[in-house]
């Protein structure tokens, strides 16, 4: 469906076009929540996007969450309910052969070298043989057939040949991995835009890839009306669409999650936070310190620069302030737009209004007084639910107007909302008598 911002009532495609602006200061009530898109350089696995949760089987990637190469995924899943994982990078496929049987890894990459295949004879029937596929020495698949051509590909390998193979142990080899290039990330963005997600974690150091990711998210927000954020490290974008991570953390086992890798946790925590929760002073799961630490003046400077910084608090690592990279304020975007909780509320309003209008009103409801009143009642109920959650306050239904647009099929909605932020600063005066 079409969407995005508008400057005049001149759109061609049916859709919901939603502008969010500041005014001086500043059906669920929530829709999509906890979903992160993540391109990750992995040594094996499919290029297409896979939905992964904390309990997913990762045999497709010849790995598990305990492996170092999946650290970012593991950190992301500490808060995210679902990750849209896409492998970036390529390489050569591992393979092995013996007699009439050839075994090929399904995917390119050095991870294919972790796979082995064992051919066993059946002790009771000499016309049958058993083929067992192992990953890191753990059995993952068993097939019993009379001819190689009857073997079917499993999650790890494919088979080729004909006839009965010799008893053998085949260890796949010569699988190689290449580092991802900018084109790999562009390919991931093209695939990811077909899914709905709250945040995109981009754990890279390449400035060109960061710029491409930021432009991708801005296009989704501004041209398609799909409100989401991107999380990167060391990128001063000056935009509410971009969360700029400054430092990382030290986990309880002593491992260091640097700023680039910490983008995963930040993206997962942001996606899961929803409209009524701030991440300010939220503890990073499993962390005991930050890396590097900063003194007070450095932290103040980081916050003023729109950097998302972790600080040490009594043996834990916490988010100093739940902010994005926006530092330039004006009539269109006030300082409140730099607070991620506020942005989550405004984004939910835009996403929910767009989805509701597309699913229940476009082409289904008459654009007359009765139809517009029906839509108004729907939005009043939605904003009421937001207020009940503590996401907005002082909502007045009288400040919600639904009117006919310039063209016969156009509807105009104007509404005033007041997002709620969390307490962050206490100014106390204690008088001693």
Same domain, 194 and 250: yes
Same domain, 229 and 314: yes
Tell me the two tokens of residue 149: 């051509």
- Does the pLDDT of residue 28 top 90, yes or no? no
Q: How confident is the model at residue 7 (pLDDT cuts 50, 70, 90)?
A: very low
Same domain, 119 and 81: no
CA dihedral 360→363→366→369, nearest 10 degrees, is: 60
pTM, two decimals, is: 0.90
- Does the pLDDT of residue 167 top 70, yes or no? yes
The angle that helices 182-192 and 207-223 make with each other, rounded to 10 degrees, is 20
Same domain, 168 and 189: no
- Region 156-162: mean pLDDT is 96
Same domain, 128 and 151: yes
Residue 427: inside a domain: no
What pLDDT, on a 0 to 100 scale, did the predictor assign at position 12? 38
Lowest mean pLDDT among 181-190, 210-219, 235-244, 414-423: 414-423
Q: Which of 264, 285, 319 is the last residue of a domain?
A: 319
Same domain, 356 and 210: no
Q: Which of 161, 177, 193 is the last residue of a domain?
A: 177
**Cβ atoms of 310 and 247 closer than 8 Å:** yes
Sign of the dihedral through C-alpha 429, 430, 432, 433: positive
Residue 432: inside a domain: no
- Region 147-164: mean pLDDT is 96
Same domain, 188 and 218: yes
Residue 165: inside a domain: yes
Residue 421: inside a domain: no
Residue 48: inside a domain: yes
Mean predicted lDDT score pLDDT of the chain: 92
What pLDDT, on a 0 to 100 scale, did the predictor assign at position 9? 55
**Cβ atoms of 284 and 79 closer than 8 Å:** no
Q: How confident is the model at residue 407 (pLDDT cuts 50, 70, 90)?
A: very high
- What is the domain-level CATH number for residue 358? 3.10.450.690
- Does the pLDDT of residue 115 top 90, yes or no? yes
- Does the pLDDT of residue 10 top 90, yes or no? no
What pLDDT, on a 0 to 100 scale, did the predictor assign at position 429? 86
Residue 214: inside a domain: yes
CA distance 407 to 432: 68
For the chain, the domain total comes to 3
- Does the pLDDT of residue 27 top 80, yes or no? no
Same domain, 315 and 332: no
What pLDDT, on a 0 to 100 scale, did the predictor assign at position 238? 98
Tell me the two tokens of residue 26: 């500043």
- Does the pLDDT of residue 98 top 80, yes or no? yes
Domain that holds residue 367: 2-29+328-415
CA distance 367 to 411: 7
**Cβ atoms of 97 and 150 closer than 8 Å:** no
- What is the domain-level CATH number for residue 268? 3.30.1370.220
Same domain, 289 and 278: yes
The angle that helices 340-360 and 369-389 make with each other, rounded to 10 degrees, is 150
What pLDDT, on a 0 to 100 scale, did the predictor assign at position 427? 81
Same domain, 304 and 203: yes
Contacts with 104 (C-beta within 8 Å, 6 or more apart), sequence order: 93, 94, 95, 157, 158, 159, 160
Contacts with 263 (C-beta within 8 Å, 6 or more apart), sequence order: 72, 201, 202, 203, 231, 232, 233, 245
Q: Which of 126, 142, 177 is the last residue of a domain?
A: 177
- What is the domain-level CATH number for residue 147? 2.60.40.4290
Same domain, 60 and 194: yes
| Beta-sheet pairing, 248-251 with 287-291 | antiparallel
What is the percent of the chain with per-residue pLDDT over 90, rounded to a whole number?
A: 87
- Region 314-318: mean pLDDT is 96
Residue 140: inside a domain: yes
Same domain, 74 and 157: no
Residue 426: inside a domain: no
User: Counting beta carbons within 10 angstroms of the beta carbon of residue 210, is it exposed (0 to 12), middle (13 to 18) or buried (19 or more)?
Assistant: buried
- Does the pLDDT of residue 423 top 80, yes or no? yes
- Does the pLDDT of residue 23 top 70, yes or no? no
């Amino acid at each position: 469906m079409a969407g995005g911002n508008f400057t005049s009532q001149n759109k061609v495609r049916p859709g919901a076009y939603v502008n969010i602006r500041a005014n001086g200061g500043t059906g669920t009530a929530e829709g999509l929540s906890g979903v992160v898109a993540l391109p990750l350089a992995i040594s094996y696995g499919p290029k297409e996007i896979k939905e992964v949760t904390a309990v997913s089987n990762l045999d497709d990637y010849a790995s598990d969450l305990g492996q170092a190469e999946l650290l970012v995924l593991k950190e992301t899943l500490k808060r995210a309910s679902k990750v849209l994982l896409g492998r970036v990078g390529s390489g050569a496929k591992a393979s092995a052969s013996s007699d009439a049987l050839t075994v090929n890894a399904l995917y390119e990459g050095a991870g294919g070298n972790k796979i082995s295949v064992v051919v066993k004879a059946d002790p009771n029937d000499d016309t049958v043989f058993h083929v067992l596929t192992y990953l890191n020495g753990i059995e993952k698949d068993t097939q019993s057939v009379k001819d190689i051509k009857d073997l079917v590909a499993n999650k790890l390998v494919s088979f080729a040949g004909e006839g009965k193979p010799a008893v053998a142990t085949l260890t796949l080899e010569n699988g190689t991995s290449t580092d991802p290039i900018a084109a790999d990330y562009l390919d991931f963005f093209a695939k990811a835009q077909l899914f709905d997600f709250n945040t995109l974690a981009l754990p890279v150091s390449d400035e060109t890839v960061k710029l491409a990711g930021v432009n991708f998210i801005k296009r989704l927000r501004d041209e398609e009306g799909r409100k989401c954020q991107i999380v990167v490290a060391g990128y001063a974008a000056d935009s509410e669409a971009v969360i700029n991570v400054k430092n990382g953390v030290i986990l309880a086992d002593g491992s260091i999650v640097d700023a680039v890798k910490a983008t995963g946790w930040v993206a997962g925590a942001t996606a899961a936070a929803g409209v009524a929760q701030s991440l300010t002073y939220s503890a990073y799961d499993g962390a005991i310190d930050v890396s590097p630490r900063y003194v007070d003046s450095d932290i103040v400077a980081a916050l003023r620069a729109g950097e998302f910084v972790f600080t040490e608090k009594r043996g834990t690592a916490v988010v100093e302030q739940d902010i994005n990279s926006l530092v330039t304020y004006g009539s269109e975007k006030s300082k409140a737009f730099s607070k991620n909780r506020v942005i989550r509320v405004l984004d939910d309003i835009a996403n929910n209004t767009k989805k509701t209008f597309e699913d229940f009103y476009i082409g289904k409801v008459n654009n007359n007084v009765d139809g517009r009143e029906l839509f108004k009642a729907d939005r009043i109920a939605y904003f009421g639910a937001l207020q009940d959650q503590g996401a907005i306050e002082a909502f007045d239904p009288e400040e919600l107007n639904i009117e006919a647009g310039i063209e016969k099929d156009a509807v105009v909605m104007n509404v005033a909302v007041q997002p709620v932020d969390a307490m962050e600063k206490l100014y106390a005066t204690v008088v001693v008598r």
